[in-house]
Structure 1
Amino acid sequence: MSGIVRIHWAIAPAIAPRPLVNCNRCGGVKAYRCSEKFRVNANGKRIDVWLIYRCVDCDNSWNFGIFERCNRRDIEPALLQALESNDPGLARRHAFDVSALRNQVGHVEEFLDVAVQRHLVGQTSESATALELRLGLEMPISLRLDRLLANELGISRSRLQALQERRLLTVRPDGAKALRRAAREGMIVLIDLEGEPDREAIISAAGG
């Protein structure tokens, strides 16, 4: 390898999971989308907080419980202010909490779409023949690493597998089985592209 292009990918899921809820207005199980609005109900010293969801077909509401009969003193003032002001970052964090959603409704519709922001680390050169990708995840995703790489680099999953078998593609820390697992925070993907005819196109697609 005569040179390595190092790029950081900041990865964020694009579509929040949708709980599948029995809609009493539609008369059947429907997907509900997050409204990004909280409902805060105070009764004396006790507070209940919900994240409001809406049926994708009829806009009927369903409340995803965040706090139930919680003592006001147990909630940090800054957090309470964020809830009451419908802080979008806080709403997003709860909307992507798949485990909590499943605990309340059982079935959740998930999406694999992600947004990737690319940041070149250090200098690069036209003679570079290797690519190092460092993955940073806003939150856990279900998208397999091979699908992520194929989508973002414009190459097939079978070619990625072939590169790995030729030991031209390595993943730290998960090793040989990493391509078939979900992309994770802190993963480092190193691809040796020396001799590959589309080397420049792949590096350009990566963000180099």
Structure 2
Amino acid sequence: MSSALRVHWTIAPEIAPRPLINCNRCGFVKAYRCSEKFRVNANGKRIDAWLIYRCVDCDNSWNFGIFERCNRRDIAPALLAALESNDPALVRSHAFDIVALRNQVGRVEEFPDAVVRKQVIGGIKQGATVLDLRLGLEIPVSLRLDRLLANELGISRSRLHALDERRLLTIEPDGAKALRKPVREGATIRIDLASEPDRRTIISAAGG
């Protein structure tokens, strides 16, 4: 009878996406990094707010619009205070909003780097022969699933695909094709390691 270790992984991207903008100082399209600072401008009862970006080479600024001509009474006081204090959580939520960035500039540079927090939610490591992973995303990432699994489990991507071919690896949703796609919120991965000589090492890596 197989013994399964159930682990929840929470994946958080490390580097915010960078909009690619025609820098009027450099004279070329350049990547702009998030400065982690907001700019808030009040004109009577109207408020504008931007997240400030800087050219990676010359430090020229670009403003990522958050609010434009918004009535002060329509903005929660706590949100306005967070903008004015450059609240890190609020900065992060906007800096990683790649859809909004693309809507404003079109081209965006993405980074696959991510931190993975691991929590055992069932079973025990000792003697486990099956690994059940549940994936959660703090913020959507561009990291491919096969790269994530290979990095965190200490095995090659080719071996992951071989496990799939032997029907020892199952993924929901999307099945095996999910290996080549970005990690999805709520994805589940089951790996049967009973016949793998290094299963203890893999199981240990999976549980952190």
Letter of the 1:190 partner, please give it. Answer: R
After superposition, the CA RMSD in angstroms is 1.2
Deviation of residue 197 (structure 1)? 0.8
Is the Cα contact below 8 Å between 1:3 and 1:125 reproduced in 2? no
Deviation of residue 8 (structure 1)? 0.9
Letter of the 1:131 partner, please give it. Answer: L
- Give SS of 1:204's match: helix
Q: Give CA deviations for 1:144-163 in whole Å, capped at 9, x if unaligned.
A: 11111111111111211111
- Give SS of 1:86's match: coil
Query: How high is the TM-score relative to the length of structure 2?
Result: 0.96
Residue number in structure 2 paired with 1:49: 49
Q: Give CA deviations for 1:35-68 in whole Å, capped at 9, x if unaligned.
A: 1100000001110000001111111111111111
Deviation of residue 176 (structure 1)? 3.1
Mapping of residues 69-80 of structure 1, within 5 Å: 69-80=69-80
Query: How high is the TM-score relative to the length of structure 1?
Result: 0.96
Residue number in structure 1 paired with 2:116: 116
Contiguous gaps of at least 5 residues in structure 1: none
- Give SS of 2:103's match: helix
- Give SS of 1:103's match: helix
Letter of the 2:70 partner, please give it. Answer: C
Deviation of residue 204 (structure 1)? 1.3
Deviation of residue 4 (structure 1)? 0.7
Residue number in structure 2 paired with 1:156: 156
Is the Cα contact below 8 Å between 2:125 and 2:203 reproduced in 1? no
Is the Cα contact below 8 Å between 2:125 and 2:204 reproduced in 1? no
Q: How many pairs are equivalent?
A: 208
C-alpha distance in 1 between matches for 2:128 and 2:112: 32
Residue number in structure 1 paired with 2:4: 4
